[in-house]
Amino acid sequence: MLQSNNRTTSRQNSHSSRFRRSKSLRNWKKVTKNSPYQGDSLYHGKQGKVMQTQDIKVLFITNYTDEKYIDDISTSIKCTGIQHLTIHDWGEGCLKSEEMKKYDVIFLRLMCKSNVNTTRLGNSLHKYVISGKGLVIGAHRTLCANDPALLKGKIVTNGFLPVVPGKKIFGSKRKLGEYEKLHPINRRVRIFHGGKNSPHSKCELAAGSKCIAKYDNGTPLVAIKQVKPKYGKVVVLNFSPRSVTGGCKLSTDSWNRLSTGGELIIANSIVFAAQK
């Protein structure tokens, strides 16, 4: 029940050398190490098995090159204790399916650039989810109609997305509305505010999907879908994954890491999607 209220050629478990040298990444490692949420996102899968948070291998696919932006999202991904994170710039080249399948879950976040073939990306993600792996999509642009970053391909045409893309919304202050308090993705989440502009998509819930959190205006905030039990889960986060505390020039209109549960929603979603 809803309740109110650089590329993967870098070594596994690492960023590219450019990111590993950055001061902001060293700060990120320090924050992650001391996070009060570490080990708190454990989730029992349907098969009765538990994948320890620190054992989950995450592939972060993006086309951003701003180090502060990437470090900010990485901080959220790892806030509950995830240790294995690899970043791949899809704009610099695609990955083969065999390489993608080495990871338990993919976190996807694209910016509005034309350097990514979103149809080819969608086809690759479709194969990945069919293999039983999880996918978390950090919208909003990836799910905004007519946006250059709009995801296409078989992941969309074969009905794997939990939402139907809608109009891009920017400039409305949105906060958490009804949500399933006991769902693993919402664990320890009590408040969410999208920030001054609350960028998101005016999407609608797709058939066969479940909305486990809504904005205060009823628009899906977090939605999940699993087409078949043997397929992986797809989770859509209908907000920008960058925080206002990220330090990059684009982050002043987003959620605040210090006063809202955005990073927990991101990390919990990854742990949830990784479970079989």
> Domain extents for the chain?
17-274
Q: What is the mean pLDDT of residues 216-221?
A: 92
Tell me how far apart the alpha carbons of residues 92 and 10 are, in angstroms, rounded to a whole number: 13
pLDDT at residue 201 in the model? 84
Assigned token pair, 149: 């970053």
Q: What is the mean pLDDT of residues 203-223?
A: 94
Taking a C-beta distance cutoff of 8 angstroms, is the pair 90, 119 a contact?
Answer: no
Answer whether residue 9 shows pLDDT above 80: no
Which fold, 17-274? Rossmann fold (3.40.50)
Per residue in 71-107, pLDDT tens? 989 999 999 999 999 999 988 888 999 999 999 999 9
Average pLDDT, the chain: 80
Tell me how far apart the alpha carbons of residues 67 and 64 are, in angstroms, rounded to a whole number: 8
Phi-psi domain of 190 (left: phi exceeds 0; alpha: psi -120 through 50; beta: other): alpha
pLDDT at residue 113 in the model? 66
Beta strands at 105-109 and 134-138: parallel, antiparallel or unpaired: parallel
Taking a C-beta distance cutoff of 8 angstroms, is the pair 141, 62 a contact?
Answer: no
Per residue in 113-167, pLDDT tens? 667 888 999 999 999 999 999 999 997 678 888 887 889 999 999 999 999 988 8
Question: What residue type is 38 in one-letter code?
Answer: Q
Residue that has been written with the tokens 């948070």 in this structure: 53
Taking a C-beta distance cutoff of 8 angstroms, is the pair 82, 53 a contact?
Answer: yes
Q: Which H or E run contains 77?
A: helix 67-77
Q: How confident is the model at residue 21 (pLDDT cuts 50, 70, 90)?
A: very low
The dihedrals phi and psi of 53, each to the nearest 5 degrees, come to -55, -45
Cross-strand bridge partners of residue 107: 60, 136
Assigned token pair, 200: 């998101």
